[in-house]
Structure 1
C-alpha cells in the first residue's frame, strides 16, 4: 500500500530540481486517493501543460517519483502503453520522456516510454481480459497483468534513478 503526503511526494522525485519540486501541483482530491486501487500514482500537472509525474513503489518497497514531460509529437499510429500493455486501448497513449537523475540528467541524458496519457494503467489491468477459451482463469490473468505493470513501471523509475 502506498501512503503519500505532499512532502513525501515531492521528496520522492529523483529527477526534479528544487524549483520543479516546489512548482509541483498535486492532483485534485490527493488526500482522498484510494492507494489500494493503484499500482502507482500518476497524474498530469494542470498548471504545466506537458508535465506529468509518476510515483511508483519499487519491488524492494522504495518509493521513487519521476518527473515526466510529454513529447510534442504524437505517435503516427495507435500506440500501446509500455506499462499496462492493454490491447483494447480505451485511452490515448503518448510518449513521455524523463531526464535521468544525477550528473547524467544534468548533462541532458533522458529515457522515454509510451504510457497511457492520463495514467489509467491501474484501471486497465484490473479490467477482465477477454476470454480466449473455456476454462480460462480470468482472475489469475488479471493478477498477472497487475504484477507485470508493477514490474515494468518500477523498472522504468529505477532506470531513471540510477546515477
Structure 2
C-alpha cells in the first residue's frame, strides 16, 4: 500500500457522507506507518468507540475506504472466534461483528453488510505472522505461507468491499 494523507483517507471513504468523513479521527501514528508492510489500514476511532475504518487498495490500485460500526456487545472471552478477513482465530472478545452501510440508495434506506473482523482492525499485522501450521517449515516455505495469507486477505477484503458498494 502506498502512503496516504489524512485528506486522501477522507476522500477514499465510499459509504459515508462528507460530513461523516470530515468528523473521522485519523490514526495517531499516520506519519510513522510502515506503508510497505500494510495490506489494509484499519483503526478504531478513539472519539467514537464503536466506529472503525478500513482503507485499502482495490485491484486497480485505487484507494477505497469503508466506515464501519462495531456491535455494541462483545462475545465471551472463553470462546474462540475467527476474523473472516484475515482468518485468524482469536479469543472471541478480540473479534467483533462490524457492519458497513451500503452505498447509494440501499445505504440511505438503512441497508448494511456485516462480517466478523478483528476488534482492533489490525488484520494487516495478523496476516504477516507465520501461521502455526507453517512454523516447522524452512524460511522459504514460511514466506510462501505468509504470501498466501496476504493474498487471501486481499480477496476477502475486495469481496466485502464489493458487497458494500453493490447497488
Q: Same fold (TM over 0.5)?
A: yes
Candidates 136, 148, 154, aligned match of 1:150: 154
Q: Aligned in 2, Cα 1:135/1:21: closer, same or farther, shift over 3 Å?
A: closer
- Residue-pair matches, total: 162
Candidates 130, 133, 140, aligned match of 2:132: 130
Candidates 144, 158, 164, aligned match of 1:160: 164
Structure 1 residue 158 displacement after superposition: 2.4
Q: Aligned in 2, Cα 1:131/1:21: closer, same or farther, shift over 3 Å?
A: closer
TM-align CA RMSD: 1.9
Aligned to 1:17: 17
Q: Per the alignment, in what secondary structure is the counterpart of residue 36 of structure 1?
A: helix
Identify unmatched segments of 5+ residues in structure 1: none
Q: Per the alignment, in what secondary structure is the counterpart of residue 126 of structure 1?
A: coil
1:6 aligns with 2:6: yes
Aligned to 2:122: 120
Identify unmatched segments of 5+ residues in structure 2: none
- The farther-off stretch of 43-52 and 114-123 is 114-123
Per the normalisation by structure 1, the TM-score is 0.91
**Residues 58 and 158 of structure 1 are in contact (CA less than 8 Å); yes or no, is this contact kept in structure 2?**
no
**Residues 68 and 100 of structure 2 are in contact (CA less than 8 Å); yes or no, is this contact kept in structure 1?**
yes
Per the normalisation by structure 2, the TM-score is 0.89
Q: Per the alignment, in what secondary structure is the counterpart of residue 110 of structure 2?
A: coil
CA distance in 2, matches of 1:155, 1:135: 31
Aligned to 2:97: 95
Q: Per the alignment, in what secondary structure is the counterpart of residue 79 of structure 1?
A: strand
Structure 1 residue 135 displacement after superposition: 5.3
1:56 aligns with 2:56: yes
CA distance in 1, matches of 2:133, 2:115: 29
